Amino acid sequence: MSEPPTSSSICLCVTGGVAAYKSAHLASRLTQAGISVHVALSPAAKHFIGPATFLALTGNPVIESVFAGEQAPYGGHIRLASECDILAVVPATANFLAKAAQGQSDCIASATYLAFDGPVFVAPAMNATMWKKPATQRNLQQLQADGTTILHPEEGWLSCRQHGQGRLQDIDQILDFLIRQATS
């Protein structure tokens, strides 16, 4: 068995939307590209996909809470923020966008976002009405003003069985983008 040498590390925060299942493909392909992937799961994300999948795919422990005991003496958010080169939130819920825009840090994903001092890439996915809502658009503008890169969602089939804006950007497009960022 051979694994590629790791060149850089990425913190992949997964938040609670149906598109969370696509982040498993992302984690696997990033790992195969030689990038060390460290996954943080929001509590809601665990309703959609579990830590065992990411542990198996990445070979790294999955962080589910700032209080994860094995992260001592730091909180899990500080350890992730200090050990990773880039931060990607895929998928990012409307809730995550709101919290990040406000500097709230009440879960591992939002706390790591706040603690991280490097390039941040956020790929929102949600229902079309949630996406269009002025509050969501305001939060996006704030995040962009703060230096966060938004990987914009597409128009297409949504899990609420409607067609509209809010579908996670094509996961292979996100993959290619993140590989370029991680290896440049």
- Per-residue CA distances from 30 to 11, 43, 116, 174 (Å): 11, 23, 20, 10
CA 67/CA 49 separation, integer angstroms = 20
**Neighbouring C-beta atoms of residue 86, cutoff 10 Å:** 18
Q: Which stretch binds ligand FMN (CB under 6 A): 22-30, 32-40, 58-66, 125-133?
A: 125-133
Chain centroid offset of residue 116 CA: 13
Residue closer to ligand FMN, measured from CB, 15 or 58: 15
Q: How far is the CB of 50 from ligand FMN (least distance, A)?
A: 14
Q: What residues between 102 and 121 interact with ligand FMN by CB under 6 A? A: 107
Measured from the CB atom, the residue of 58 and 105 that comes closer to ligand FMN is: 105
Q: From the centroid of its chain, how far is CA 24?
A: 11
Catalytic (active site) residue 160: yes
Which residues bind to ligand FMN, rule: CB under 6 A? Answer: 15-19, 42, 44-45, 93-96, 107, 125-126, 130
